[in-house]
Amino acid sequence: MIFNSKEDVHDFYNRYAQHVGFGTKIRGTCKNDRGEVTRHILACVREGKCDTSKERKSRKRVSSRCNCKASITARVMEDGLWYLTSVNLEHNHVVSPSMIKFFRSNRKGSGRGKRKLEENDPVELPNPKSFLTFVKSMGGIETLSSKKRDKKYNIESSRRLSLGEGDIAALCLYFMYAQKQNSNFFHLEDIDDEGYLRNVFWADARSRALHRYFSDVVSFETTYLTNKYVMPLVMFVGVNHHGQSVLLGCGLLSSETIDNFEWLFTTWLTCMSGRVPGAIIIDECPYIQVAVSKVFPTSIYRVCLCDIMKKVPEKLGAYKDYEQIVWTLKNVVYDSLRVDEFEPSWCQMIEKFGLQENEWLRSLFEIRSKWVPAYVKNFFCAGVSSLQAR
């Protein structure tokens, strides 16, 4: 698993401990020559043995330490992110969620994780042997955060990644397997301040290698966000020297917002060692356009014509002259060879069918230089539009 900071590692392990039923402590840290922490070790509070060799003048207390080996180790890598390098979840003592109120780490909390876990929480877990057991038992990473059950504290579903039962566990299992098979597998999870899973990105070693050679034109596919499958899947697709589509990375988004798209594009750029695509083809979505302009300011972007034409029935289907409007629209778009032909023809169509109040057509005209063939005919797209049409 990957985290943005050691505080995030600490918060995650504390939330895990709250649900399982044990206390945590910092067992040790390592620093570099500049005094920066490079390794962080968290352990069960019952780690270690009681030192009975020294005589104490004060009253002796019964020690709870029993040499428990449960711990995790996180290291910061060259990319500035924290990776779990060692995980041991085996406890040599009984753990129980009902005991969490007695542990200092769970009473005080940590950083953003200062939230009280209800003492009467009905969830009980056996001693887990892997994070997947925990994730699956709790219904996914998005449920790790302990929260009051009152409805007023519920977070809107649009802020969380919406997946089916067991999907999160399957995703984690795939990430672990893929990273074990090839260390160049990349994945990153976006978790909000409440501990809910918001967005996910991943790219295997093959996708990262292909990007080096086939990133001249990249298509950002959001088909699964809008079609009948109702899946929050997005894809970065390139075209190889045979004209075939090649996958350059995938993501899961909780919602279509500027912030989510910015996070995804920035993560993809980081994964690909900062190599910016020469051009990117996107859907007709204002949020995507804003995010692309911010993250890829030097890239040329074009709005997919196929995506626009697919929306015609939805946007214009209510007009009584619908068939004539569609026929005229296609003639104006496809048959105009020059800009000075397209613009007057478009205005005549709007006037003829009384479409002055149609906001969709108005917005399309404002970005006409990004999608109309007369404007982009000299734009090299590597056949991406034709591939999307299939």
- Give the model confidence (pLDDT) of 184-238 as tens digits: 999 998 887 777 788 999 999 999 999 988 888 898 988 766 555 556 789 999 8
* Whether 145 and 113 share a structural domain: no
Question: How many other C-beta atoms can be found within 10 angstroms of the C-beta atom of residue 175?
Answer: 18
Burial of 214 (0-12, 13-18, 19+ CB in 10 A): buried
* Whether 115 and 79 share a structural domain: yes
Q: Which residues in 297-315 are b (16+ Cβ under 10 Å) and which e?
A: eebbbbbbbbbbbbeeeee
Domain limits for position 351: 309-370
* Whether 141 and 219 share a structural domain: yes
Q: What is the pLDDT, as a whole number, of residue 114?
A: 34
Pairing of strands 2-3, 82-88: antiparallel
Least confident span in 31-45, 272-286, 371-385: 371-385
Q: Is residue 25 part of a domain?
A: yes
DSSP-derived 3-state class of residue 147: coil
Q: H/E element holding 361?
A: helix 359-366
* Whether 150 and 297 share a structural domain: yes
308 and 329 in contact (C-beta within 8 Å)? Answer: no
Mean pLDDT is highest, among 31-35, 164-168, 340-344, for 340-344
Pairing of strands 71-76, 82-88: antiparallel
**Rounded Cα distance, 323 and 326, in Å:** 5
CA-based radius of gyration for the chain: 27
* Whether 168 and 199 share a structural domain: yes
* Whether 187 and 110 share a structural domain: no
**Rounded Cα distance, 153 and 113, in Å:** 16
92 and 13 in contact (C-beta within 8 Å)? Answer: no
Q: Which of 123, 154, 186 is the last residue of a domain?
A: 123
* Whether 299 and 357 share a structural domain: no
Q: Which two tokens stand for residue 324?
A: 């004539």
One-letter amino acid of 214: F
Q: Is residue 78 part of a domain?
A: yes
Q: Is residue 390 part of a domain?
A: no
Q: Is residue 233 part of a domain?
A: yes
**Rounded Cα distance, 359 and 365, in Å:** 10
Is it the case that residue 120 has pLDDT exceeding 50?
A: no
- Phi first, then psi, for residue 143 (nearest 5°) are -105, 5
**Rounded Cα distance, 357 and 315, in Å:** 12
* Whether 230 and 325 share a structural domain: no
* Whether 155 and 295 share a structural domain: yes
Q: Which residues in 82-106 are b (16+ Cβ under 10 Å) and which e?
A: bebeeeebebeeebebeebeebebb
* Whether 164 and 204 share a structural domain: yes
pTM beyond 0.95: the answer is no
E strand intervals along 271-347: 279-282, 300-303
Q: Is residue 376 part of a domain?
A: no
| Closest to 295 (Cα-Cα) out of 338, 271, 261 | 261
**Rounded Cα distance, 308 and 363, in Å:** 11
* Whether 28 and 86 share a structural domain: yes
* Whether 118 and 174 share a structural domain: no
| Closest to 190 (Cα-Cα) out of 288, 111, 264 | 264
Pairing of strands 217-221, 279-282: parallel
Q: Which two tokens stand for residue 247?
A: 């996958």
The per-type count for the chain, helices as H runs and strands as E runs, is 15, 12
DSSP-derived 3-state class of residue 239: strand
Q: Which of 258, 288, 304 is the last residue of a domain?
A: 304
Taking CA atoms, 175 is separated from 16, 85, 343, in Å, by 19, 15, 50
Q: Is residue 378 part of a domain?
A: no
Residue 345 confidence class, pLDDT cut points 50, 70, 90:
very high
Residue pLDDT, tens place only, 32-66: 878 888 888 998 888 877 665 554 444 444 456 78
Q: Is residue 216 part of a domain?
A: yes
Q: Which two tokens stand for residue 320?
A: 């009584």
Q: What is the pLDDT, as a whole number, of residue 262?
A: 94
Q: Is residue 381 part of a domain?
A: no
Average of pLDDT values for 165-179?
A: 80
Q: H/E element holding 137?
A: helix 131-137
Average of pLDDT values for 266-275?
A: 92
Number of domains in the chain: 3
Q: Which of 269, 287, 304 is the last residue of a domain?
A: 304
